């Protein structure tokens, strides 16, 4: 079995990334929240200022995982940072270092951009992912909670 190769993904990889996003939503039991549009994703991966960047991991002639990230900003550091939105490896390919290769590649991108940190979220029930991240030196920020406005609540507050 060949080792995985991690490469930058481009707009033409949108269908494969969309497939992985569907698989991730299924794994996280969040399919009801999925509003996936490949054309939108393609556009967000393209152009002079893409909204996000992605990496694909390939092994045995095909894609086996991906990571999607975007720029964020730390006011306390007054520096740009990276936010890892998704990291996913097909179940049959887990435990082979592919997730680690993807995480390392995103971390290397953060270092190359001069970012002081890389952030991401993990579901509290996802013990395998939490353990994996902690083994890599990540710490879970127990004092912080994610807040989200969406749908009607977002429109209501925007309207004043």
Separation CA 117–CA 12 (nearest Å): 29
133 is catalytic: yes
Cα 140–128–65 angle (5° rounding)? Answer: 100
Catalytic residue among 27, 73, 83, 133: 133
Determine the distance from the C-alpha atom of residue 28 to the mean position of all C-alpha atoms in its chain, rounded to a whole number.
13
φ, ψ (nearest 5 deg) of residue 142: -65, -25
81, with CB counted inside 10 A (0-12, 13-18, 19+), is: middle
The residues annotated as belonging to the active site are 133
């Amino acid at each position: 079995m060949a080792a995985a190769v991690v490469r930058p993904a481009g707009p033409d990889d949108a269908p494969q990334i969309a497939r992985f996003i569907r698989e991730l939503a299924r794994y996280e039991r969040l399919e009801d929240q999925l509003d996936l549009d490949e054309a939108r994703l393609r556009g967000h991966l393209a152009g002079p200022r893409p909204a996000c960047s992605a990496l694909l991991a390939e092994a045995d002639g095909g894609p086996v995982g991906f990571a999607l990230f975007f720029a964020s900003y730390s006011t306390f550091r007054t520096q740009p940072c990276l936010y890892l939105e998704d990291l996913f490896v097909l179940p049959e390919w887990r435990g082979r270092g592919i997730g680690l290769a993807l995480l390392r590649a995103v971390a290397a991108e953060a270092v190359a951009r001069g970012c002081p940190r890389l952030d991401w979220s993990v579901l509290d029930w996802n013990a395998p992912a939490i353990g994996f991240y902690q083994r890599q030196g990540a710490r879970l920020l127990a004092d912080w909670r994610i807040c989200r406005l969406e749908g009607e609540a977002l429109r209501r507050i925007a309207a004043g």
